[in-house]
Amino acid sequence: MKPTGTYVYCVVAAARRPALKRARGPAGAGPVRLIDQGGAGGRLKKWLVVADVPLDRYGESAINSRLSDLEWVSRAAVAHEAVVESFIGAAALVPMKLFTIFTDDARAVEQLNVQNDRIDEALKHVRGRIELGVRVTLAKQRTRARSTARVGSGAAYLAGKKVQRDRAVELAANAQEVVAEMYDDLSRLAADAVRRAATEIPIRDGPLLLDAAFLVPRPRAARFRSTVARRAKTLTPEGYRVTLTGPWPPYSFVRD
């Protein structure tokens, strides 16, 4: 029998033992299982969400030899996240990094116990909260289509191009104030919020003006979504595109 290691997906706190879903993790990983970690404060208990993985595929040297294979890493990341996201209904959830692997269960428990204070603090911070993402972009294609829809040739074409340029300048000039106001308003409904650099994620539609994550208490989630919807209704005719994503595990709010 090939030697195996213990792959840790996340730490979960819940009032009762979490149900195991069908997500299987990266290729070759065994079934998802739980390791009881005892109390997590109040009436909650804490579990490690783990699986056995063959070390000939997921040992340190094996992983390092494939890190340049972006397709393989991407597939593994998607599968890892699928397992983590299957526990999103838990009271609190702290995701682990991709390829968090130990030689066995005892070593996994030992090493995570070293980080117990940090993990417990993270569980406390995200308890009863979900991550929602908001992005705002300039809807270039919509602006271009609107400004050139009735343009013919010659002088009319040049006039249409000028309208298009002027519109783009106007949107860009107002963008900073628009997204700052939106971010501040949404932050008031969240327990925590972070803005990511606009260069981190490529956007096909137009320039990325805001890419933010919000840690939202579950009772406020409906209000948060309706607030985003109202903002989108106002901003869309002005040439902005507002996108709401989630709920996600609190990836953006579990810090090293």
Q: What is the pLDDT of residues 174-192, one digit of tens each?
A: 778 888 899 999 999 999 9
Question: Which pLDDT score is estimated for 9?
Answer: 97
Q: In the beta sheet, which residues pair with residue 51? A: 7
Q: Hey, CA dihedral for 66, 69, 74, 79, is it positive or negative?
A: negative
How far is C-alpha 120 from the geometric centre of its chain's CA atoms? 21
In this model, does residue 156 exceed pLDDT 80?
Answer: no
Q: What is the mean pLDDT of the chain?
A: 86
Q: 158 to each of 139, 146, 162, 165, 183, how far by Cα in Å?
A: 21, 15, 6, 11, 37
How far from 61 is each of 32, 56, 57, 116, CA to CA, in Å? 24, 9, 9, 28
Domains of the chain: 4-126 (no CATH), 129-253 (3.30.70)
User: Confidence band (pLDDT; 50, 70, 90) for 121?
Assistant: very high
pLDDT in tens, 25-57: 999 999 999 999 887 666 889 999 999 999 999
Region 71-98: what's the mean pLDDT? 95
Q: What pLDDT was estimated at residue 174?
A: 73
Mark out the alpha helices in the chain (DSSP H runs): 55-58, 60-64, 70-85, 105-114, 116-126, 140-148, 154-187, 221-235
Give the pLDDT confidence score for residue 4 in this predicted structure.
94
CA neighbor of 84 nearest in space, from 98, 70, 101: 98
Give pLDDT, residue 138. Answer: 80
Give the residue with greater pLDDT, 138 vs 99. 99
Token pair of 146 as six digits: 């609107």
- Predicted confidence at residue 244, as pLDDT, reads 96
**Residue range 214-226, pLDDT digits in tens:** 999 999 999 999 9
Q: How confident is the model at residue 160 (pLDDT cuts 50, 70, 90)?
A: low
Query: For residue 93, how many C-alpha atoms fall within 13 Å in the half-sphere facing its CB?
Result: 25
Cα gap 92→90, rounded to integer Å: 5
Residue 143 pLDDT class (50, 70, 90 cuts): very low
The predicted model gives 88-114 an average pLDDT of 94
